[in-house]
Amino acid sequence: MSDTLTAPGASAPASAEPDDYSGPATNTGISNPKLGMWVFLGSDCMLFGGLIATYMLYKNRPMAPGIVGNAEPISDVFDIAFTSASSFVLLMSSLTMVLAVTSIARGDHHRLRLWLGTTAFLGAIFIGGQVYEFTEFVREGFGYTTNVSTSSFYTLTGFHGVHVTFGILMLLTMMVLSFKGRIPQSKAEGVEIVGLYWHFVDVVWILIFTVVYLIN
C-alpha cells in the first residue's frame, strides 16, 4: 500500500513527464535535440573549413599539361554585383527567421507561418540565383571539370547550396506542422533548432562570399 495519500478535495499530482519537445536536458544544461544540432554544426564547420582551404589552394592553380579546357581561373567571370544582391537576400532571411522564433515564443502561429514561409521564399531566391550563376559560368566555358579552380569552386558553393535547400525543406516542414496544430508554444524549441541551422548556413555563406568572391 502506498504511503502517499491524496487529501480530500486536493488535486492529483501532476504527471512527471512534461509536455516538452526538448526532452531531458544533458549535463550541458541544454536539451538533447539542441545539443545534437550543435554537434552536427560543429562537424559541418570542419567540413566547410576543409572545402574552403581546398579552394584557396587551387583557385589560381594552372591546368595540368595535356588537359583540354579553360586555363583561366573561374574568378575571372564572377559577377560581384549579382552575387552581392543574392547574398543580401540570404542575410535578410536570418532576420525573418528570428521573427519566426519570436512568433512561436509568443504563441502567434499565424505570424510563425508567415515568417517561416518568408524565410523559405528568400532561401529559394538565393538558390535560384546560384543556379543562374552556375549556368552563366558554364556558358562561359567554366564547367565542373574544366580545371581544378572550377572543381573546387563548384564543390564548395554547391555543397553550401545543398545545405540551403535542406534548410528550406525544414522550414516548409515546420509550416505544415504548424497548420496541423502540432507545434504548440510548449514545443517552440523545434523552431529554435531549425533557426540555429539556418543562421549557421547564413554565417557560412558570409565566409564563403568573402573568401571566394572578394579575395582574389
pLDDT in tens, 141-192: 888 988 888 999 999 999 999 999 999 999 999 999 999 988 887 778 999 9
The reported pLDDT for the residue numbered 16 is: 39
What letter does residue 188 receive in the DSSP assignment?
A: T
3.30.565.10, 3.30.420.40, 3.20.20.70, 1.20.120.80: CATH of 32-59+72-214 = 1.20.120.80
Beta bridge partners of 25: 31
Domain ranges of the chain: 32-59+72-214
Distance of CA 168 to the CA centre of its chain: 8
Rg of the chain on CA atoms, in Å: 23
- Reading the block at residue 125, the C-alpha cell is 531566391
Which residue, among 162, 143, 164, 141, has the nearest Cα to 153 in the 3D structure? 143
The Cα–Cα gap between 11 and 137 comes to 70
pTM for this structure? Answer: 0.82
Name residue, grid cell 502561429.
109
Q: Which residues in the chain come in under a pLDDT of 70?
A: 1-29, 61-71, 216
SS (H, E, C) 54-107: HHHHHCCCCCCCCCCCCCCCHHHHCCHHHHHHHHHHHHHHHHHHHHHHHHHHCC
The burial of 52, by beta-carbon neighbours within 10 Å (0-12 exposed, 13-18 middle, 19 or more buried), is given as middle
In contact, 90 and 128? CB cutoff 8 Å: no
